[in-house]
């Protein structure tokens, strides 16, 4: 478990990267999210709505394990491995992912992961389109 200083630092990082990318989040016709850790993630309204959440804040407030909370079981490994390649090797990718909707059911998507570094923290910017 991360200590309080790390959590506070990660919170500041996710806020900072969102402020830097705000225009992209707001103007894109795609769902977008950035994941740093289970406690620190941000998305746009399009992605939140795609998964059945009323707002990006409601989606971000889910503190469970990310794949378990949001990704259909058959897609979890692919998303995790692709994310790891993005943050560890700087490799962008495009993959098919099935997401869980908040109210049940699933949504099939195409996800583009783009490596991103902000204040020496690696993460990935995810562009999500329903397929």
Domains of the chain: 4-130 (3.30.450.20)
Residue with tokens 């790390």: 6
Quick one: pLDDT at residue 8?
66
Quick one: pLDDT at residue 94?
97
Flag residues of the chain having pLDDT under 50: 1-2, 5, 7
pLDDT mean across residues, the chain? 93
End-to-end CA distance of the chain: 36
Question: Strand locations in 3-120, DSSP E?
Answer: 31-37, 40-43, 93-100, 106-118
Contact 126, 42 (CB under 8 A): no
Contact 100, 106 (CB under 8 A): yes
Quick one: pLDDT at residue 2?
47
């Amino acid at each position: 478990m991360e200590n309080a200083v790390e959590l506070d630092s990660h919170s500041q990082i996710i806020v900072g990267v969102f402020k830097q990318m705000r225009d992209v989040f707001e103007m894109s016709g795609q769902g977008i999210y950035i994941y740093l850790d289970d406690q620190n993630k941000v998305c746009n309204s399009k992605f939140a709505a795609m998964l059945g959440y009323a707002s990006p804040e409601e989606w971000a407030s889910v503190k469970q394990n990310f794949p378990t909370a949001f990704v259909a079981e058959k897609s979890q490994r692919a998303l995790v491995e692709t994310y790891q390649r993005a943050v560890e090797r700087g490799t962008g990718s495009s993959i098919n992912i099935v997401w869980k909707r908040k109210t049940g059911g699933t949504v099939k998507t195409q996800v583009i992961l783009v490596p991103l570094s902000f204040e020496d923290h690696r993460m990935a910017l995810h562009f999500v389109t329903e397929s």
